Structure 1
Amino acid sequence: MSVFDDARLDDRAALAGADEVLRRLASAGARLRREAGEALRATTTLADTPRPRAVVAAGAEARFIRAIVEPVCPVPFVAWPTHGLPGWVGALDLVVVLASDAAHAGLISTVHEAVRRGAQVVIACPGHSPIAEHAAGSSTTLLPTSTGDTLAAAIVALTAMHVMQLGPSVDSELVAEAMDKVAEDCSPSVETIENPAKEVALGLADTQPLVWGGSVLAARASRRVAEAFRAASGRAALAADVEELLPVLDAAAPRDPFADPFEDLGSADRRPCLVVLDDGNGDELVRSGQTRLLAAAERNDIRVCVIAHQSGSAVERYAALLQTGMYASVYLAVGLGRYHDL
Structure 2
Amino acid sequence: MTASMPLLDLDDGEAVTAADAEGLLRAVAMGGAQIRSTAAAVADGVLGRLIGFRPRSVILIAGSGGARHAARLAIALAGNSIGAPLLVLEHTPSWAGPLDVVVVAGDDAGDPRLVESVDSAVRRGAEVVVAVPDEGPMRAAAAGRTAVLAPRLYVPPRHTMTRFLAVFLAVGAVIEDRSPHGRPWEALDRVADAVDAEAVRSGPGREVFGNPAKSLATRMLGHRVVVCGNGSVATVLSEYASAALLASGISAAAADLSDVIRGARMLYAPRAVGGDSVFHDPFFHDPQLDGALPGESVRAFVFTTEADQADTRRRMDALADADLVVSADDDQSDPGISEMEQVFVLASRVDMAAAYAQLTGGA
Please classify the TM superposition score into its range, dividing by the shorter chain length.
0.7 to 0.9
How many angstroms does 1:240 deviate by? 0.3
How many angstroms does 1:102 deviate by? 4.1
Instruction: Return the alpha-carbon distance in structure 2 between the equivalents of residues 191 and 118 of structure 1.
Output: 54
- Name the structure 2 match of 1:203: 219
Matches within 5 A, 1:72-83: 72-80=81-89, 82=90
* Structure 2 CA distance for partners of 1:21 and 1:7, relative to 1, 3 Å: closer
- Name the structure 1 match of 2:331: none
Q: Is the 8 A contact 2:35 2:188 kept in 1?
A: yes
* Structure 2 CA distance for partners of 1:332 and 1:86, relative to 1, 3 Å: same
Q: Which moved more, 1:315-324 or 1:127-136?
A: 127-136
How many angstroms does 1:8 deviate by? 1.9
Q: Is the 8 A contact 2:162 2:347 kept in 1?
A: no
**2:24 aligned with 1:17:** no
**2:246 aligned with 1:230:** yes
- Name the structure 1 match of 2:166: 155
Instruction: Return the alpha-carbon distance in structure 2 between the equivalents of residues 250 and 334 of structure 1.
Output: 33
Instruction: Return the alpha-carbon distance in structure 2 between the equivalents of residues 169 and 222 of structure 1.
Output: 27
5+ residue gaps, structure 1, are none
Matches within 5 A, 1:142-291: 142-147=148-153, 148=155, 149-165=160-176, 169=184, 171-234=187-250, 236-251=251-266, 252-254=268-270, 266-267=291-292, 269=294, 270-282=296-308, 288=311, 290-291=313-314
- Name the structure 2 match of 1:304: 323
Q: 1:26 pairs with 10, 24, 29, which one?
A: 29
How many angstroms does 1:324 deviate by? 0.8
Counterpart residue identity of residue 296, structure 1: A
Q: 2:105 pairs with 98, 102, 108, which one?
A: 98
Q: 1:315 pairs with 328, 332, 340, which one?
A: 340
Instruction: Return the alpha-carbon distance in structure 1 between the equivalents of residues 282 and 32 of structure 2.
Output: 38
SS of equivalent to 1:192: coil
SS of equivalent to 1:90: coil
Instruction: Return the alpha-carbon distance in structure 2 between the equivalents of residues 307 and 329 of structure 1.
Output: 16
Question: For 1:122-152, what per-residue CA distance to the aligned partner results, in whole angstroms no more than 9, with x for missing partners?
Answer: 22233334223212454x2222323353422
Counterpart residue identity of residue 22, structure 1: L
Instruction: Return the alpha-carbon distance in structure 2 between the equivalents of residues 264 and 305 of structure 1.
Output: 31
Question: Quick one: percent identity of the two aligned structures?
Answer: 28
* Structure 2 CA distance for partners of 1:173 and 1:50, relative to 1, 3 Å: closer
How many angstroms does 1:117 deviate by? 1.6
Q: Is the 8 A contact 1:100 1:146 kept in 2?
A: no
Q: Is the 8 A contact 1:42 1:142 kept in 2?
A: no
Instruction: Return the alpha-carbon distance in structure 1 between the equivalents of residues 257 and 173 of structure 2.
Output: 33
Over the aligned positions, Cα root-mean-square deviation in angstroms equals 3.2
Q: Is the 8 A contact 2:302 2:322 kept in 1?
A: no
* Structure 2 CA distance for partners of 1:129 and 1:66, relative to 1, 3 Å: farther
Matched residue pairs, number?
A: 326
- Name the structure 2 match of 1:109: 116
Q: Is the 8 A contact 1:114 1:121 kept in 2?
A: yes
With the length of structure 2 as denominator, give the TM-score of the two structures: 0.78
Counterpart residue identity of residue 18, structure 2: A
Q: Is the 8 A contact 1:47 1:164 kept in 2?
A: yes
Q: Is the 8 A contact 1:249 1:272 kept in 2?
A: no
- Name the structure 2 match of 1:53: 56
Instruction: Return the alpha-carbon distance in structure 2 between the equivalents of residues 165 and 180 of structure 1.
Output: 27
Counterpart residue identity of residue 10, structure 1: D
- Name the structure 1 match of 2:93: 86
Q: Is the 8 A contact 2:202 2:213 kept in 1?
A: yes
* Structure 2 CA distance for partners of 1:47 and 1:119, relative to 1, 3 Å: closer
Q: Which moved more, 1:164-173 or 1:152-161?
A: 164-173
Question: For 1:79-104, what per-residue CA distance to the aligned partner results, in whole angstroms no more than 9, with x for missing partners?
Answer: 11x2x223321222111122355452
Instruction: Return the alpha-carbon distance in structure 1 between the equivalents of residues 282 and 38 of structure 2.
Output: 46
How many angstroms does 1:41 deviate by? 2.1
